[in-house]
Amino acid sequence: MSHLNNRVKLFSFAALLLTSSCSGLHKIALSQPEEMFSYFSYGSDRKIISGHRGGMENGMPENSLETFKATLKETPAFFEIDPRLTKDSVIVLMHDATLDRTTTGTGKLADYTYAELKDIRLKDKDGNATPYKIPRLEEVIKWGRGKTVLNLDKKDVPFQMIADLIKRTNSNAFVMLTVHSPEETRFYLEQDPKAMFSAHIKDEKTFKAYKDAGIPFKQMIAYIGPKVGEQNEVMYKLLHAEDVMCMISAAPTYDKLSTVEERFEGYKSVLLDGASILESDNPIEASKAFRLLD
């Protein structure tokens, strides 16, 4: 058996050990922050799938509760999602500041109250309307408990509102925060010393800034960029030494390739490059690509 096949078997076995499948869903069941730290601790034999904007394949819309459910029927995964504020300060999921691309509505999300959004429907990536509604973040957190991990990207919601919501919902065991600087990270740590982060660390200078700031590496994964290559080797060495998983996002690169075969090669290259986490618009397809390598 080839070295590649061995690595894929280890990936599959790790997924089996660290998740459970019941009620038709593959679940990442975490009940304490320390369990999340452990789940995302680096190991050379471990690979994890993340749904970028929650995923957007098979006619399902991005940032949709129904999409998360459909993904977990096929594979264990966690989800990067996008909180934004309505006119009346309800936190909902929406990547863009405007409704036009992803919904049947038009104009700025911030010009609508949550009640005014209830008749609007989400679109799939091809622009087709679906039956699904714009979800509230609190609704998604309630659903996600015991099933997955939610990675909250930074949009227009004030940091304090996000910190307060995580505290109110007691969800720090399965909600992580995307951060872009040690200063942002420190703010959240002052609110909750057990917060978990997805930190953008693409170069040695940024790594050093996090280290000098005393940010606990055990409480983070690191996004290192959108593609494989020799430029990643330094970051793998630095971050793996701190037991930090490195994430590559295929969303702007390999997900854009036109055929399943081309995307397969892209996802395979991430696996071989050394990244522990593959973020993709197509988490189901990406997970199948990993399994098909065996």
Predicted local confidence at residue 288, as pLDDT: 87
pLDDT tens per residue across span 190-245: 999 999 999 999 999 999 999 999 999 999 999 999 999 999 999 999 999 999 99
pLDDT of 105 strictly over 70: yes
pLDDT of 37 strictly over 50: yes
Of the chain, the percentage scoring pLDDT greater than 90 comes to 88
3-259+268-285 architecture in CATH?
Alpha-Beta Barrel (3.20)
What are the φ/ψ torsions at residue 198 (nearest 5 degrees)?
-110, 100
Residues 118-122: contacts with CB under 8 Å, at least 24 apart: 122/61, 122/62, 122/63, 122/64
Provide mean pLDDT across the span 110-136. 98
pLDDT of 103 strictly over 60: yes
Out of 17-26, 57-66, 226-235, 281-290, pick the least confident.
17-26
Residues 110-113: contacts with CB under 8 Å, at least 24 apart: 110/84, 110/85, 110/86, 110/156, 111/87, 112/86, 112/87, 113/86, 113/87, 113/88
- 166 with 175: CB under 8 angstroms? yes
Per-domain residue ranges for the chain?
3-259+268-285
Predicted local confidence at residue 5, as pLDDT: 43
pLDDT tens per residue across span 42-90: 999 899 999 999 999 999 999 999 999 999 999 999 999 999 999 999 9
Residue with more model confidence, 110 or 13: 110
Predicted local confidence at residue 292, as pLDDT: 72
How far is 76 from 216, CA to CA, in rounded Å? 26
Predicted local confidence at residue 63, as pLDDT: 98
- Type and span of the H or E element at 200: strand 196-200
User: DSSP alpha helices (H): ranges in the chain?
Assistant: 3-18, 33-39, 65-72, 114-117, 137-144, 159-169, 182-191, 204-212, 233-240, 260-273, 283-292
pLDDT tens per residue across span 196-209: 999 999 999 999 99
